[in-house]
Structure formats: structure tokens, C-alpha cells
Amino acid sequence: MLLDVQNIHKTYQSADGPSAVLRGVGLSLAAGETLALTGESGSGKSTLLHLIGGLDTPDQGQILVDGQDIGAMDDNGRAHLRRGTLGVVFQQFNLIPSLRVRDNIAFQARLAGQHDAQWAGTLADRMGLADHLNKYPEQLSGGQQQRVAIARTLAPRPRLVLADEPTGNLDETTAATVMDLMLELVRETNAGLLMVTHSENLAGRLSRRLHLRAGLVA
């Protein structure tokens, strides 16, 4: 199994006392599967995605990515996993302003020691960025910037892509185009995709769907 999440608990401490956000969440995802994670605002979707991405640690439970327990890894191990196996796309594009589009696309693949100029070129073409490779992010529209961010995420050929409302900042038509491209490329590379979304329409286009309610998968 590409991703196996077992019995995850996470409680945040706040001024009002402890708040149990996740209370025994489990899910699994096979290579080539696309899974939508829905739930009301505050239900813990981003929290779960951060835990799976190794950006935070659960209080209890296990997360296995490609059979590796991320809780048993040290910071180096988690950083390595984030660079090589995992790809993350957020609502904010987080492009590097001082780098041209071509170098933004190659950035993570280079960090991971997996830069492949031909694949980077294919991604740029497929994302409709071929005429923009020498531009800087600020010279692009929001939809173009998000396409750069997605190409950058896919450039190291991640096995598992985690996406948090990746088209949430785009207008409906642009969002649909960007999502079509991302789903096509994810399917072609046989990656797994776990995507947080508020959009019913989008959730319906993925192969499976899970709903978080009261700290559990409903």
C-alpha cells in the first residue's frame, strides 16, 4: 500500500484548553488512486495532511508511506521523504520570486537529485508553460503560477501527491483546467493523490472520497 494511516490522534492545546481534532483516523491509498478528503471547516483536513506530509507529528497512531513509518524517521529521513517520495501542492503557490519559471519547475527535482530535463520540459509543455520559461513568477497570472507549482511538484516524480485546495485561489474555469491537467499527469505517472477540497464537483472527479466529521472518518 502506498499510504497507510492508522488510528491517528491529534489534540491541540489552546488558551481554552485541549481540543481533540483527530480522534482515531484511518485511511489507505494505493498507487494510482485519487482520494478526496472533505469535511467542514475546522474538521482537521489540513491537520491530517500535515501529519501525512511529516510536517507535524501525531499524538498516537502510525503513518506508513510506501511501507516506511514516518514516525520512526528522524528529521533527515522525513526531509528525504518529502523531497523524493512525496509531492505537496498548496493553495498558495509558494514559487521562488527570484527564479525563472524553468528553474522554479526544476527546483525540487534538483534538491532531490532527480532533475530530468526531458521530463521537466514535458511537464512545462503539458502545463502550457513553454512560452513562459524565461519569465519570473510575478510576470504570470494566478492560473499560470499554479501550473508552475504543480509542474514543480511533479518534476521529481513523487509517488504520493498531497494537495490542499490546490485550485482554491483560482476562478472556476481556470481551476477546472488546472485540475484536469493535474489529474491527467497524476494518473499517467501512477502516483497516488490525496486532495483536500471543499468542492463537491472536484471530490466527485476523484476515484474515492472520505469525509471527516467529529475527528473521525465518517
What is the binding site for ligand ATP (CB under 6 A)?
12, 14, 21, 39, 41-47
CB of 203 vs ligand ATP, minimal distance in Å: 13
Length of the chain: 218
Residue with cell 513509518: 69
> Can you point out the beta strands (E) in the chain?
3-14, 17-29, 34-39, 60-65, 68-69, 86-89, 160-164, 192-196, 208-213, 216-217
The answer to whether 145 and 169 have CB atoms below 8 angstroms apart is: no
3-class SS at 200? helix
CB of 82 vs ligand ATP, minimal distance in Å: 19
CB of 201 vs ligand ATP, minimal distance in Å: 16
Q: Which is nearer to ligand ATP, 39 or 156 (CB)?
A: 39
Q: Which is nearer to ligand ATP, 106 or 195 (CB)?
A: 195
CB of 214 vs ligand ATP, minimal distance in Å: 12
Q: Which is nearer to ligand ATP, 55 or 79 (CB)?
A: 55
Q: Is 49 exposed, middle or buried (0-12, 13-18, 19+ CB in 10 A)?
A: buried
Q: Which is nearer to ligand ATP, 43 or 144 (CB)?
A: 43
CB of 43 vs ligand ATP, minimal distance in Å: 4
The answer to whether 155 and 106 have CB atoms below 8 angstroms apart is: yes
Parallel, antiparallel or unpaired: strands 160-164 and 17-29 = unpaired
Distance CA 131, CA 184 (A): 21
Q: Which is nearer to ligand ATP, 26 or 128 (CB)?
A: 26
184: CB partners within 8 A, 6+ apart: 126
Q: Which is nearer to ligand ATP, 16 or 131 (CB)?
A: 16
CB of 59 vs ligand ATP, minimal distance in Å: 13
